[in-house]
Amino acid sequence: MIVDALDEIPDQDSRERLLAALAARMSAPDTPVRFLVTTRPLSPGETARLAGPRVGFYELQPFDADALIRFAYRWFDQADSPAGKAAAREFLDQVDAAGLGNILEVPLLAALAAQVHAARRDQPLPGNRYELYEQYIEHLTDTQTPVSTATLDPLRQSPGGAQLADWVEAHRVEILERLATTYTTEETQLLDDAEGYLAEHAPVPARLPSSWKDLLAEWLALTGLLGRPAGCGSCTRPSPNTWLRQRPPEHSRTTSDPTNRPGTI
């Protein structure tokens, strides 16, 4: 059983109740279940109650220079070919030229940079975390747009639906930035917030198809930035890409202040 992102339970009492329940299950001698619990750093001692003779604690280490080199060759040279080695060297040269070494100490950001570079080999890598996020979002948009656009085809068949579908596609980033703000500042369900935002800003027809909420949830999930948890129907949540968790709203960020860029994943 995987319990991911324990730190994202904001209420400490709720988090402690979950930790107590996990500790009881994990310490049971006859439990057939193996647990993997992940979290960012918590207050000292919070996870200590999980300690036991069969429990190991591990910390994800940042990439040093050697680890980044190994990562590059494993990413770009999986076939052990001259072309793959050249691609890995090109990526590392781009990282050096952009001054991204410190930023790519975070393994997930190294993976983002590799995807951005692979998709746009004719362009240099960006020189800061914010622009790296921007280019990664553009990459996701380029790859996901055809599929997500087709998802709204049933909406286009309804009266007035084509105009709404076109508006949603044209304002994709605007909608996602709104949801990023909601996720980081409120407890509102993201799908409900998206519906409310569209009702206020988009040309929503008087009658929508009965499948509208499910279509919207699927469209959001296909952006690559949101997911639909199993068994949750039309629910949405940030996907492991985590951009919505990290990217600040447009009105609250500046590109000149490095302390005001998205936090470490």
- Taking only the tens of pLDDT, the chain with its 265 residues reads 999 889 888 788 999 999 999 999 998 888 889 999 999 888 888 999 899 888 999 988 899 999 999 999 999 999 999 999 999 999 999 999 999 999 999 999 999 999 999 999 999 999 999 899 889 988 887 887 788 788 999 999 999 999 999 999 999 889 988 998 888 888 788 999 999 999 999 999 999 999 999 999 999 988 878 877 654 555 555 554 433 333 333 333 333 333 333 322 2
Please give the angle made by the CA atoms of 88, 242 and 72, to the nearest 5 degrees.
Answer: 10
Q: Could you tell me if 99 and 179 lie in one domain?
A: no
In a domain, 193, yes or no: yes
H/E stretch holding 132 reads: helix 129-151
Note the pLDDT of residue 257. Answer: 32
Q: Could you tell me if 220 and 164 lie in one domain?
A: yes
Q: Could you tell me if 205 and 234 lie in one domain?
A: yes
Q: Could you tell me if 244 and 156 lie in one domain?
A: yes
Q: Could you tell me if 150 and 116 lie in one domain?
A: no
In a domain, 187, yes or no: yes
How far out from the chain centre does Cα 144 lie? 14
The pairing of strands 226-227 and 237-238 is antiparallel
How far apart CA 69 and CA 78 sit, in angstroms, is 13
Among 80, 99, 127, identify where a domain stops: 127
Q: Could you tell me if 114 and 175 lie in one domain?
A: no
In a domain, 209, yes or no: yes
In a domain, 60, yes or no: no
Note the pLDDT of residue 254. Answer: 32
Q: Of 141, 136, 131, 229, which Cα lies nearest the Cα of 189?
A: 229
Domain housing 15: 2-50
Note the pLDDT of residue 161. Answer: 95
In a domain, 104, yes or no: yes
* Cross-strand bridge partners of residue 129: none
pTM: 0.66
Among 96, 127, 158, identify where a domain stops: 127
The answer to whether the CB of 236 falls within 8 A of the CB of 220 is: yes
Q: Could you tell me if 149 and 239 lie in one domain?
A: yes
Note the pLDDT of residue 252. Answer: 35
Count of domains forming the chain: 3
Q: Could you tell me if 162 and 123 lie in one domain?
A: no
Q: Could you tell me if 151 and 242 lie in one domain?
A: yes
Q: Could you tell me if 156 and 215 lie in one domain?
A: yes
In a domain, 110, yes or no: yes
Q: Could you tell me if 234 and 155 lie in one domain?
A: yes
In a domain, 55, yes or no: no
Q: Could you tell me if 19 and 102 lie in one domain?
A: no
Note the pLDDT of residue 123. Answer: 92
Note the pLDDT of residue 237. Answer: 56
In a domain, 35, yes or no: yes
